[in-house]
């Protein structure tokens, strides 16, 4: 049955080629079970805000202090976004202008460091982020980055190593958080170490911002003077980022974002961030955040029952990191087979991975998107079953089986409308 697609008639008339591709992506998103833990479905309201005339405006500066005229509407929009962020996360100050999480993190370095200064973060293959000082990133090239990891036994942050490195290296900044961390981030323990060595603790909550907002993960606010986040992952906003901090750091953070790193903010995105923050302040969002974690635990338990080996032995949040070594399938082969079968994941390194980053042992999955679609316990059990069969088919090189599973996953996906697409 044909489904009505949301691409506007103007786009279709002006650029049918792009319109067709957007429609194709819309259909792909509708029919696929999305398990990439950093992705989500923004609401129709958020998507609408991004597609407005606000994209036409320049507004370098901050509300009340701009370098362009005509800010009668932009100022209240940005002020609303700031106030909503401050209220939702209980922080003194928010800056909603960073274009992305990477730029937000760069602004933190610019605010507090000189080139060559020592900083500390979790190593990328251990679950950290490129911008936490990994060697190929500017943050690993222009700063002296010391990297901590997880314990080989538990797969969780090795706080003895964090403390030892911090005492030896005396970093200016310590980043906590990451992109493949399936457990609670213990902000209090990081804060204790940062305080002992005189470092500023930066909590990168990009992955878990929605869980924090909804009370499904402890808040970094009492412990971290600086908080960095993207807005489009569990927080379910548009693609963008925010920096939040204590009052004493507000001027340095603002100056680092603009004029330090960026020019004009993307006002259409600022408006959409404001909408997402309003949505995230509602009781139903808190329920959503808790359901993400419930679903993640159900999926993890079922995968373990089926013989999958999970880093750290399970999950406390939205994310599951699978070490496929025991299944005798490489992460990339598995993720490509899953994609063919209609389950979207990404291959990922696992801690102490003997394989290369472009062909690692792991698979990273998560439940924010499927939870947004309204899936629950029964569907998590079905997804574990589909994944299990896909991995088996991938090992056997059975493409026909993958294509049969594709029909099942399409049926499951389309039974749960995705906000912003089907609404």
Known catalytic residue at 67: no
Is position 101 an interface residue for ligand DSN (rule: CB under 6 A)?
Answer: yes
The 3-state DSSP class for residue 60 equals: coil
Residues β-bridged to residue 174: 120, 201
> What is the rounded CA–CA span in Å between residue 364 and residue 372?
18
DSSP 273-311: HHHHHHHHTSHHHHHHHHHHHHHHHHHHHHHHHTT-EEG
Comparison of 101 and 368: residue with beta carbon closer to ligand DSN: 101
**Judged by CB under 6 A, which of 29, 179, 231, 361 binds ligand DSN?**
179
What the block records as the tokens of 2 is: 């044909």
Known catalytic residue at 58: yes
Known catalytic residue at 340: no
For the bound state, the minimum distance from the C-beta of residue 100 to ligand DSN, rounded and expressed in Å, comes to 8
Check 84, 172, 233, 364 and give the catalytic one.
233
Number of chain residues interacting with ligand DSN (CB under 6 A): 4
In this structure, the number of other CB atoms found within 10 A of the CB of residue 9 comes to 8
Check 44, 66, 144, 239 and give the catalytic one.
239
Query: Of the candidates 243, 241, 262, which has an alpha carbon nearest to the alpha carbon of residue 251?
Result: 243
Is position 342 an interface residue for ligand DSN (rule: CB under 6 A)?
Answer: no
- 398, with CB counted inside 10 A (0-12, 13-18, 19+), is middle
For the bound state, the minimum distance from the C-beta of residue 52 to ligand DSN, rounded and expressed in Å, comes to 26
> What is the rounded CA–CA span in Å between residue 194 and residue 163?
9
CB 421 within 8 A of CB 3: no
Comparison of 118 and 367: residue with beta carbon closer to ligand DSN: 367
Comparison of 38 and 221: residue with beta carbon closer to ligand DSN: 38
The 3-state DSSP class for residue 181 equals: coil
The pattern of x and - marking residues 115 through 134 that bind ligand DSN according to CB under 6 A reads: --------------x-----
Known catalytic residue at 347: no
Is position 371 an interface residue for ligand DSN (rule: CB under 6 A)?
Answer: no
The CA radius of gyration of the chain, in Å to the nearest whole number, is 22
Known catalytic residue at 233: yes
> What is the rounded CA–CA span in Å between residue 91 and residue 243?
10
For the bound state, the minimum distance from the C-beta of residue 241 to ligand DSN, rounded and expressed in Å, comes to 10
Known catalytic residue at 60: yes
Is position 43 an interface residue for ligand DSN (rule: CB under 6 A)?
Answer: no
Residues β-bridged to residue 343: 33
Is position 177 an interface residue for ligand DSN (rule: CB under 6 A)?
Answer: no
Comparison of 318 and 389: residue with beta carbon closer to ligand DSN: 318
Residues lying near ligand DSN in the complex (CB under 6 A) are found at 38, 101, 129, 179
User: What are the residue numbers of the active site?
Assistant: 58, 60, 204, 230, 233, 239
């Amino acid at each position: 049955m044909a489904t009505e697609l949301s691409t506007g008639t103007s786009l279709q008339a002006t650029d049918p080629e792009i319109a067709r591709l957007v429609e194709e992506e819309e259909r792909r998103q509708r029919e696929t079970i999305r398990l990439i833990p950093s992705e989500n479905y923004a609401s129709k309201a958020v998507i609408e805000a991004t597609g407005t005339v606000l994209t036409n405006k320049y507004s370098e500066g901050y509300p009340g202090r701009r370098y362009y005229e005509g800010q009668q509407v932009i100022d209240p929009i940005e002020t609303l976004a700031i106030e909503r962020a401050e209220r939702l996360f209980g922080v003194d100050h928010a800056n909603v202008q960073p274009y992305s999480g990477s730029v937000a993190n760069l602004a933190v370095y610019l605010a507090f460091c000189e080139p060559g200064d020592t900083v500390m973060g979790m190593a990328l293959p251990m679950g950290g982020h490129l911008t936490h000082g990994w060697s190929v990133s500017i943050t690993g090239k222009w700063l002296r980055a010391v990297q901590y990891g997880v314990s080989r036994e538990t797969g969780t942050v090795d706080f003895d190593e964090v403390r030892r490195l911090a005492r030896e290296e005396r970093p200016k900044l310590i980043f906590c958080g990451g992109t493949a961390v399936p457990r609670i981030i213990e902000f209090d323990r990081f804060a204790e170490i940062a305080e002992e060595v005189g470092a500023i603790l930066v909590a990168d909550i990009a992955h878990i911002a929605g869980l924090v907002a909804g009370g499904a993960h402890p808040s970094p606010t009492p412990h971290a003077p600086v908080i960095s986040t993207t807005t489009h992952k569990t927080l379910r906003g548009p693609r963008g980022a925010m920096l939040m901090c204590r009052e004493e750091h507000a001027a340095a953070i603002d100056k680092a974002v603009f004029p330090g790193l960026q020019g004009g903010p993307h006002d259409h995105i600022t408006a959409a961030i404001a909408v997402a923050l309003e949505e995230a302040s509602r009781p139903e969002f808190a329920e959503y955040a808790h359901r993400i974690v419930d679903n993640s635990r159900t999926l993890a338990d079922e995968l373990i029952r089926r013989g999958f080996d999970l880093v750290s032995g399970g999950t406390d949040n939205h994310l599951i990191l699978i070490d496929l070594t025991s299944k005798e399938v490489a992460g990339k082969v598995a993720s490509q087979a899953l994609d063919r079968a209609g389950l979207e994941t990404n291959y990922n390194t696992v801690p102490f991975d003997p394989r290369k980053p472009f062909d690692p042992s792991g698979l990273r999955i998560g439940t924010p998107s499927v939870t947004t679609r309204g899936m629950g316990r029964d569907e998590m059990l079905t997804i574990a079953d589909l994944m299990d069969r896909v991995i088996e088919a991938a090992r056997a090189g059975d493409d026909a089986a993958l294509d049969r599973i594709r029909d099942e996953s399409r049926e499951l996906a389309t039974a749960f409308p995705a906000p912003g697409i089907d609404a």
